[in-house]
Amino acid sequence: MIDAAAAIFFEHGFERASLSAIVRRSGGSLSTLYQLFGSKEGLFEAMVTQRCAQIMEPLTTPHQPGQDPRETLVRIARGLMGVLMDPEAQGLWRMVMGEGIKFPRLPEIYFRCGPDPLQTAMVRYLSDLHDRGIVHCPDVPSVVQAFCGMMQSDLFYRTVTGMRPIPEAAETERHVQKVVDLVMGMLTRR
């Protein structure tokens, strides 16, 4: 039933999504829906909570400090790119941005599941590299911020708004390489 809710909510938005449509798709009954979630908002929150954890899960994998830094960054960037270009994750993003003011718990859940773990893991990883003298980076948080910001470029915004289709793998890979190049420049320069 949460799957059906996700599909309908992500496609139409909160207000336009009708509970009858969700029930029709999920196969359950309206009564059970109210039994389980209490209200439309309850179902919405439960769905977002579940999907946040599920969609963002690839972003929480820790990084082994022994590997080549560039390869590690590329791996992280590819994982992030995969999430950014996932149609369901894009629906979730639109929900968080569009309904976040009406539902303050949405941004909380989103940041706690996605950006926060990714950024703390990256800060830990890069700080470790810096401490061991492998890279020189006096301001790790800023570099991590820069990395995340650069990943979410026009490519992402134009896709999430439907202005262009999901890009080919080659195009996302080019973007990954470009961002990692720029970040590596920030790490090795003096």
Partner DNA sequence: TGAAAACTGTAATGTACGTTACATTATCCT
Partner DNA sequence: AGGATAATGTAACGTACATTACAGTTTTCA
Q: Which does 166 bind (CB under 5 to 8 A by kind): a second copy, DNA, none?
A: none
For position 160 contacting a second copy by CB under 8 A, the verdict is yes
Query: Which of a second copy, DNA, none does residue 82 bind (CB under 5 to 8 Å by kind)?
Result: none
What is the footprint of DNA within residues 1-20 (CB under 7 A)?
16-20
Q: Minimum distance from CB of 5 to DNA (Å)? A: 11
Give the count of residues interacting with a second copy (CB under 8 A). 46
Binding mask 136-155 for a second copy (x = CB under 8 A): ---x--x--xx-xxxxxxx-
Cα(118)–Cα(21) distance, integer angstroms? 35
**Exposure pattern of 77-101 as b/e (b: 16+ CB <10 Å)?**
bebbbebbbeeebbbbbbbbeebee
Residues 26-65 that bind DNA (CB under 7 A): 27-32, 34-36, 39-41
- Residue 31 touches which member of DNA, a second copy, none, C-beta under 5-8 Å by kind: DNA
**Residue that is written with structure tokens 């970040």 in the block:** 183
Q: How near is the Cβ of 22 to a second copy at its closest, in Å?
A: 17
Residue 121's CB is within 10 A of a number of other CB atoms, namely: 17
CA distances from 6 to 50, 51, 107, 150 (A): 10, 8, 17, 28
Q: Which residues are CB-contacts of 179 (< 8 A; sequence separation ≥ 6)?
A: 77, 147, 150, 151
Q: Applying CB under 8 A, does 162 fall inside the site for a second copy?
A: yes
Q: Per rule CB under 7 A, is residue 102 in the interface with DNA?
A: no
End-to-end CA distance of the chain: 54
Structure tokens at 3: 């799957």
Q: Is 92 in the site for a second copy (CB under 8 A)?
A: no
**1-25 in b/e burial notation, b at 16+ Cβ within 10 A?**
bbebbbbbbbeeebeebebebbbee
User: In the complex, which residues of this chain contact a second copy (CB under 8 A)?
Assistant: 11-13, 15-16, 93-102, 104, 106-108, 110-111, 115, 119, 139, 142, 145-146, 148-154, 157-158, 160-163, 178-179, 182, 185-186, 189
User: In the complex, which residues of this chain contact DNA (CB under 7 A)?
Assistant: 16-20, 27-32, 34-36, 39-41
